[in-house]
Amino acid sequence: MKEDQPLSPADLEGFMRENEIPGEIIHLDVPTPTVKSAAQAVGTEPENIVKSILFLVEDRSVLTITCGPEFVERRAISAHFNVGRKRVKLADPDRVLKETGYHVGAMPPFGHHLPLHTLIDKRVLAKERIYAGGGSDRTLLHIDPQTILSSTQADILDLLNPPGPNTKNQKHAL
């Protein structure tokens, strides 16, 4: 894998084969750049589509994985890393492509140019099977969420709600 070249569904498939990661890459006739379009393309509810979103935490790349159309709560990320909320920013499309090899809207949860620190929302793990980015806007990955967890060694937390006084997210240093 050359780090200056975009990756494709074939690269993802090769990564999965090489690492013995079970899952199915589904090739579609329509583009699926949004949760809604992906859900419609495979005939499922939006909550069964997961999105992989790259954030920068003090300039370090952190991948988040969440279900459906919900927004990631930056305060949950900042509390997890014990940094101020303003230290957590959404990565721009150029940085996403450079760091992961995939375009925004097509990014799988693994198989990037470099391993990424990954955070997975606890709701993802409550699903039996989900669809994730498959490496292009016309492919999706059908996979067991536990496989994503074991393949990424992700930290599990609530990414949709701000941490409250009783929140017990484990703090991690960057």
Through-space distance between the first and last CA atoms of the chain, rounded to whole angstroms: 26
pLDDT of amino acid 10: 98
Q: Which fold has domain 9-157?
A: YbaK protein (3.90.960)
Place of tokens 């409250």: 164
The predicted-structure confidence for 83-137, as pLDDT tens digits, reads as follows 999 999 999 999 999 999 999 999 999 999 989 999 999 999 999 999 999 999 9
**Residues 160/78, Cβ–Cβ less than 8 Å:** no
Residues 6+ apart with CB under 8 A from 109: 50, 52, 63, 65, 118, 132, 133, 141, 148, 151, 152
Q: In whole numbers, what is the pLDDT of the chain averaged over residues?
A: 92
pLDDT band at 3 (very low <50, low <70, confident <90, very high): low
Which of helix, strand or coil describes residue 51? strand
Instruction: Output the pLDDT for position 166.
Output: 53
Decide if 86 contacts 79 (C-beta within 8 A).
Answer: no
Q: Where are the domains of the chain?
A: 9-157
Average pLDDT over residues 139-168: 90
Supply 83's token pair.
């940094």
Instruction: Answer yes or no: is pLDDT of 53 > 70.
Output: yes
Backbone φ and ψ for 31, nearest 5 degrees, come out as -70, 150
Instruction: Determine phi and psi for 87, rounding to 5 degrees.
Output: -85, -5
Please state the pTM of the whole predicted model: 0.91
Structure tokens at 44: 């499922």
